[in-house]
Structure 1
Amino acid sequence: MPDVVFAVKDTDGRYLAISEGCVRRCALRNRLQAEGRTAHELFPGAMADRYRQQDQTLFAERRPLRDRLDLTVYPDGAPGWCLTGKQALRDTDGQLLGLVCISRDLAELTRERLLDARFAACVDHIQAQYHRPLRLEELCDLSGLSTGQLDRRMKRVFSQSVGDFIRRTRMEAASHAIAHSRRPLADIAAGCGFSDQSALTRLCRQMLGLSPRQLRMQVHAPRPAAARD
């Protein structure tokens, strides 16, 4: 899949492995040339700064990053937009080893000029500020788009309306907190932008088919002992 690239980095941002697609984009002769190097040695400065900031956010927040709208370098050397996801890598004891990054080009949307820095800033704002009330007027101002234009653009890029994208972003944060902490559900609801615990419960049931308590119990349920030979 030429429009998808992946990379593995250590906790200092040094590349441990990259895909062939990444080799071509970075004008390298082979994968080995990337080993031990950082994004600042392979990508333009502003791109590398953003990638490094994402890595630090991933490690600090201890939850995966999904659907980050980034500028990257396409195989022909031209800049273009992509959607990026990042997941921390840990050993069997839970110690942090690094991360894996997978990006998918948005070449068609880039050609149609449907993506730009202002729209990306709007998406970033939702993903960073989901814990507080988000007004549609505020998002339109950030993106430079009308209400209808912004909704259509979100559907082209994420296959979701603005409202659905906000709800999904909040639910992802809340479900991670439910599964990986013992915080009271009311605190999680408030910290993830829900009006109250009931709103969190409704969306959790709608999106995951479980209540928050059921989700927590499922994650923390004792695992069956391994079968003996």
Structure 2
Amino acid sequence: MPNAESLSRWANLLADPVLLQHLFDKLPDAVFFVKDQTERYVMVNETLLARCGIAHKSDLIGRTAEEVFPAPLGAGYTAQDRQVLRTGREIQDRLELHMYPNGRQGWCLTFKTPLRERNGDVVGLVGISRDLHRPNEQHPEYGHLAEALDFLQTRFDEAVRLEELARKVGLSMDRFERLVSQVFHLTPRQLLTKIRIEAASRLLREGDEGIAAIAHACGYSDHSAFTRQFRSTVGVTPLAFRRSQP
């Protein structure tokens, strides 16, 4: 087992920012960034550049998400950064629908954690957003989830009780959660949220129904609860999202 001196040596070697950037540049399905206490980028990887349609890292360093991403989405991302910096609390595996300046959309799981000085002061943050890949339909037990997935995709407008759904398809809740994680890389609650927010986004883009009606159509009996969930997932309110659509 490495001793304290050996661990300290390895920690110093791995703390090299050039090495970190080089490593994260090799991850095409993960966005990596470091921001200072004014929410400005100080380190980014090539994947973030590609998603933003920016050619050089120097064109992104020193800017905030609000300056890079289209309104009103950028303001939402910057507000999230500000919350982490102000509270010092992490964001862990938050399901988010990202919309990039090049028009691409993608589901991600986002992690952000504050960077602290030795005295505990928060001086920045580091974050990773991992692309959510297609479900693993080759998983040997994918068939066990087929009925549950069909239910969620066709009846997401109902008051879904996940424990009852697990029993309905012959699974314990623990096993249901484990299989959903292995196949979809999400929790059952995140999977339901993803299906509902995708439907809500489509209705906001393509229709003219009111927000309350869309909330009800997507399984939210409470208009304000829908708005909070949509904002947490997409970064903006449903109304702001609708107004941002071409």
TM-score (norm 2): 0.45
